[in-house]
Structure 1
Amino acid sequence: MNKSLLFLTLGVLLAGGNAHAAERVDLLVRDATVIDVIDGQRHPHQAIAVRGDRIVAIVADRAAKRYEATQTLDAKGKYAIPGLWDMHVHFGGGEALIEENKNLLPLYVAHGITAVRDAAGDLSPSVFEWRAATASNALLGPTIFTSGPKLEGYKSIWPGDLEIGSVKELNEALDKLQAWKVDFVKITDNTLSTELFLDAVKEAKRRGLKTSAHVPFALTIDEVSAAGLSSIEHIDYAFKAGSPKERELGAAVARGELSSRDAWTQLNASFDEATAKAAYARLAQRGTAVTPTLNGSQVTSYLDQDDHKHDDYLKYIGPGLQATYSWRVERAAKDAAAAIARRHERFEKNAAILPLLQQAGVTLLAGTDAGFLNSYNYPGIGLHQEMALFVRYGLTPLQTLQAATINGARFLGHDDRYGSLAVGKAADLVLLTADPLSDINATRKIDTVVLKGQVHDRADLDAMLADVAKRVAAQQAAAKAKP
């Protein structure tokens, strides 16, 4: 063969080789069963290619040779789900507890939670810093979406809120929140007037802001939904919409003629499933979501059966945060047998409406209410306990997974980037050793967490937990050493 022909042949071969050169990626997850949380399908033997913090391909594993990866994970026999979202958490307890709150961030990651929605506390400046730092990978933690300080009336019981007493002050408060680039607005009902509550919902909506709230007893669920409320926090507020006497009893409470406890007794006695279904259908039609937060309620409702004082998980919770649990614990300890029975009944009746909300098409958001003040409702493991309760009270594992993934992303308007495993979306995923569509408790069987494209294997996750426990032990020792 002459030299010209040899060079021509080599050139053709090289050109052909380059045309089929493997595509460079940073991470290749091989042979996983990918769970589609939108349609509930299992897709076995899939390869997930990641570049930077985005998924660039999901292909049959036999086509994985198209990619040359810096790091490859063998996911044979494992199930890939999107990173979980806890849609109701709190950071707070005062500036003295900043570090104890910061310790909670790795707990979320170690439990497969890649995003949290902070529903207000008294550490907003720190939370804003953590939001930026986790987004840039300068701090290990989930993606944070936050309301900043909540809106309240004068002299409310909640620390760190923005207190308002007029439309002018409402607008000034919303101006501040928008300047801080909050992800939604939280409104509560301790001392805020019903008029200003509705004004806040309407004005926030006019400004394009999502709202979440505790609903004043004097207002019906229909009224706040019609005003544009985006999410109702805590299922007990949604329960009252099932009573034909909701408006009447709310007015009696507002006039001081009836206690909220006695009002709930009458709401329970008059609860009507047909009324509830119609009310929940209207919530669904308007797009008002509900965050049930069953876990926190279950813990406090049944403190008589489990006081949680010896929970192993307490080794991850700083002494200052544990101290904030006491007000609920001490209040529950004062309850006589009749009051304890009412606690149990109220929780069970509230939880029982969960499938009614789902059947009506209401968007359910899985959130724990974990954080300061909320006794033994733990950041991290609490979301898995919440999901187990969702299934116990009537949801399927798929519906529960949706509540803890895609529903949260859609609610906040970020489902273009988060909430499911698809090309172009964030490389936030969890590899499980069991099938969560068969048993929701499989979400606890975490092999690997990929957060923003960064791989955290089981050894790394265990190291995160050990590091938090070490920090907490040091904080406990320092607290005991104080005179």
Structure 2
Amino acid sequence: MLRAALAALALVAAPASAEELLIRHAKVVDIAGGRIIPDQAVAISGDTISAVGPDRAVARRFRASRQIDARGKFVMPGLWDMHVHFGGGPGLIAENADLLPLYVAYGVTAVRDAAADISPSVLQWRGEVASGQRLGPRIFTSGPKLEGYKPLWKGTIEVGTPAEVNAALDRLQAMRVDFVKITDNTLKPDIFLYAVKEAKRRGLKTSAHTPFALTIVEAADAGLSSIEHIDYLIKAGSPREAAIGADFVAGKLTYGQASDAFVESFDPAYARRVYRQLARRGIAVTPTLNMGRILAYLDREDHRGDPALAYIDPGLRKTYDWRVERAAKATPAEVAARHKEYELSARVLPMLVAAGIPILAGTDAGYLNSFNYPGQGIHDELQRYVEAGLTPQQALTSATITGPAFLGHSARYGAVKPGKAADILILDANPLRDIAATRQVRGVVLTGKFLDRAALDALLAAAKAKAGR
């Protein structure tokens, strides 16, 4: 008793610690606990949160060169977009770099680059952001993805034998990539499985589009870490998954026909059983639900007047044409099938959560993906989750907690707590009550540096000016 009393007295009597930033009278959003903690102070030293607690107690212990009055505001961890793309070729490197401050302006403090064709630049930006030389979200990247010979996508590492997979993984590890991206455009199923198993053996996370020739459970059994895009989970929910895949491989079905067959044969009861199997195997899913919705309804929604277009440079805007032109050629039956697939995707999402599968909030924003805007897109994605039946807490978890956990950085990210990274949003409204509150960003703390609303608006103005040129 006496020892505890003396310790408490020493704490009160100790001189105040000097911090760079002190956020006062904030309502801290405890996302994991689903609660709001009122009248809190957050002390920040360098790029780390040094203290969080009742305002009066923390303010007595810490002084700071800058104080922010967050009375009536809500403080939460920064948002993570777990599926973005930087690409479009060497001519668009500068335009892709212009996106980095745009992410920050919308409260995105980390992104996972899921491969494209300008990986050397992305790897350079990753280092520059980490060292403070460039303003942008923290970047986690796969580098160039693995594909088969003569794929549709540019900037890939083409592999067709185990030896080529080994050499590719050696190359990626030399780049110090954060995970490995594998896609199914021309990659043989046996090589896909070998790549997943070998990457796991080396301690590397894998993210993939899975071949139609394999079931999703087979990919998970090989050790796949995450599946990109929720339509693959529709495939997993079909009792005819293997048979439809075999017909596709045999040339009896086109890609579109196979996709439609998965939708038509989807069985909710069967799907729930498979989703529980996938959850037990520890696989995560990045739904990119909003991208699916945008493409599904291009027939009825005109995006030419979207305000966010003003922030996208003209070269990147031009890459949107490919998907728009493809969608415009669809027959009425194909348009109806797009709608049906999206509506089923929205019903599948809460089934995944109920099964215990971790959801990684990701947008697919970047080049090619029409009207899915970097920065703004993560807010649209979270809105789709809530529309599909998730609670705001579940949606927020997907954008703040599961991403760091997937990449092995939970110790540093995912909460407003001492020892965590000082990547913080200050919001005008309560996001646990209304997910749209994430759009009401009053300020961003990025690696301990505070950007108020005026500074964020200046980032948007600069993006608009560059895009206008």
TM-score exceeds 0.5: yes
Report the Cα distance in structure 2 between the residues aligned to 1:271 and 1:118, rounded to whole angstroms: 31
Report the Cα distance in structure 1 between the residues aligned to 2:285 and 2:20, rounded to whole angstroms: 38
User: Which of 113, 121, 133 is 1:118 aligned to?
Assistant: 113
Structure 2 counterpart of 1:303, one-letter code: L
Q: Is the 8 A contact 2:109 2:138 kept in 1?
A: yes
> Which runs of structure 2 are paired with 1:339-358 in the superposition (5 Å)?
339-358=334-353
User: Which of 412, 415, 420 is 2:407 aligned to?
Assistant: 412
User: Which of 43, 48, 52 is 1:49 aligned to?
Assistant: 43
Cα offset for 1:337?
A: 1.9
- After superposition, the C-alpha distances for 1:371-415 in whole angstroms (9 at most, x for unaligned) are 001011100000000000000001000000000001000000001
Report the Cα distance in structure 1 between the residues aligned to 2:127 and 2:76, rounded to whole angstroms: 25
User: Which of 185, 196, 203 is 1:201 aligned to?
Assistant: 196
Report the Cα distance in structure 2 between the residues aligned to 1:261 and 1:293, rounded to whole angstroms: 19
With structure 2 as the length reference, what TM-score do the two structures score?
0.96
Cα offset for 1:327?
A: 1.0
Q: Which residue of 2 aligns with 1:40?
A: 34
Report the Cα distance in structure 2 between the residues aligned to 1:19 and 1:265, rounded to whole angstroms: 70
Q: Which residue of 1 aligns with 2:251?
A: 256
User: Which of 146, 152, 157 is 1:162 aligned to?
Assistant: 157
Q: Which residue of 2 aligns with 1:97?
A: 92
Cα offset for 1:41?
A: 1.7
Which ranges of structure 1 fall in alignment gaps of 5 or more residues? 1-15, 475-483
- After superposition, the C-alpha distances for 1:156-198 in whole angstroms (9 at most, x for unaligned) are 0101000011111100000000000000000000000000000
Cα offset for 1:264?
A: 2.7
Which ranges of structure 2 fall in alignment gaps of 5 or more residues? 1-9
> Which runs of structure 2 are paired with 1:82-481 in the superposition (5 Å)?
82-474=77-469
Report the Cα distance in structure 1 between the residues aligned to 2:263 and 2:448, rounded to whole angstroms: 48
Between the aligned residues of both structures, percent identity stands at 57
Q: Is the 8 A contact 2:12 2:61 kept in 1?
A: no
Secondary structure of the structure 2 residue equivalent to 1:375: coil
Secondary structure of the structure 2 residue equivalent to 1:404: helix
Report the Cα distance in structure 1 between the residues aligned to 2:11 and 2:359, rounded to whole angstroms: 51
Q: Is the 8 A contact 2:182 2:208 kept in 1?
A: yes
Greater Cα shift, 311-320 or 381-390 = 311-320
- After superposition, the C-alpha distances for 1:121-155 in whole angstroms (9 at most, x for unaligned) are 00101001100000011000000000000000010
Report the Cα distance in structure 2 between the residues aligned to 1:193 and 1:303, rounded to whole angstroms: 33
Report the Cα distance in structure 2 between the residues aligned to 1:17 and 1:323, rounded to whole angstroms: 60
Cα offset for 1:17?
A: 11
Secondary structure of the structure 1 residue equivalent to 2:252: coil
Secondary structure of the structure 2 residue equivalent to 1:232: strand
With structure 1 as the length reference, what TM-score do the two structures score?
0.94
Q: Is the 8 A contact 2:278 2:357 kept in 1?
A: yes
Cα offset for 1:261?
A: 2.3
Secondary structure of the structure 1 residue equivalent to 2:366: coil
**Residue 71 in structure 1 maps to residue 66 in structure 2:** yes
The number of equivalent residue pairs is: 460
Secondary structure of the structure 1 residue equivalent to 2:68: strand
Report the Cα distance in structure 1 between the residues aligned to 2:329 and 2:260, rounded to whole angstroms: 20
Q: Which residue of 1 aligns with 2:4?
A: none
Cα offset for 1:62?
A: 1.6
Report the Cα distance in structure 2 between the residues aligned to 1:268 and 1:236, rounded to whole angstroms: 9
Secondary structure of the structure 1 residue equivalent to 2:385: helix
Secondary structure of the structure 2 residue equivalent to 1:196: helix
Q: Is the 8 A contact 2:20 2:65 kept in 1?
A: yes
Report the Cα distance in structure 1 between the residues aligned to 2:194 and 2:340, rounded to whole angstroms: 34
Report the Cα distance in structure 2 between the residues aligned to 1:95 and 1:457, rounded to whole angstroms: 34
Report the Cα distance in structure 1 between the residues aligned to 2:214 and 2:240, rounded to whole angstroms: 12
Cα offset for 1:457?
A: 0.2
- After superposition, the C-alpha distances for 1:405-444 in whole angstroms (9 at most, x for unaligned) are 0100000000111121111010000000000000000000
Structure 2 counterpart of 1:163, one-letter code: E
Cα offset for 1:336?
A: 2.4
Secondary structure of the structure 2 residue equivalent to 1:353: helix
Report the Cα distance in structure 1 between the residues aligned to 2:12 and 2:434, rounded to whole angstroms: 46
Secondary structure of the structure 2 residue equivalent to 1:59: strand
Structure 2 counterpart of 1:412, one-letter code: L
Go from structure 1 to structure 2 and tell me whether the alpha carbon gap of 1:405 and 1:17 turns closer, same or farther (over 3 Å shift).
closer
Report the Cα distance in structure 2 between the residues aligned to 1:27 and 1:401, rounded to whole angstroms: 25
Go from structure 1 to structure 2 and tell me whether the alpha carbon gap of 1:181 and 1:340 turns closer, same or farther (over 3 Å shift).
same
Structure 1 counterpart of 2:159, one-letter code: I
Cα offset for 1:18?
A: 10
Q: Which residue of 1 aligns with 2:5?
A: none
Cα offset for 1:19?
A: 4.2
Q: Is the 8 A contact 2:411 2:420 kept in 1?
A: yes
Report the Cα distance in structure 1 between the residues aligned to 2:286 and 2:251, rounded to whole angstroms: 28
Report the Cα distance in structure 2 between the residues aligned to 1:105 and 1:176, rounded to whole angstroms: 26
- After superposition, the C-alpha distances for 1:19-53 in whole angstroms (9 at most, x for unaligned) are 43111111110011111111112111100000000
Q: Which is higher, the Rg of structure 1 or of structure 2?
A: 1
Structure 2 counterpart of 1:72, one-letter code: Q
- After superposition, the C-alpha distances for 1:198-237 in whole angstroms (9 at most, x for unaligned) are 0000000000000000011111010000110000000000
> Which runs of structure 2 are paired with 1:21-32 in the superposition (5 Å)?
21-32=15-26
Secondary structure of the structure 1 residue equivalent to 2:251: coil
Report the Cα distance in structure 2 between the residues aligned to 1:374 and 1:453, rounded to whole angstroms: 32
Query: What CA RMSD, in Å, does the superposition of the two structures yield over aligned residues?
Result: 1.3
Go from structure 1 to structure 2 and tell me whether the alpha carbon gap of 1:18 and 1:422 turns closer, same or farther (over 3 Å shift).
closer
Structure 1 counterpart of 2:43, one-letter code: A
Structure 2 counterpart of 1:78, one-letter code: K
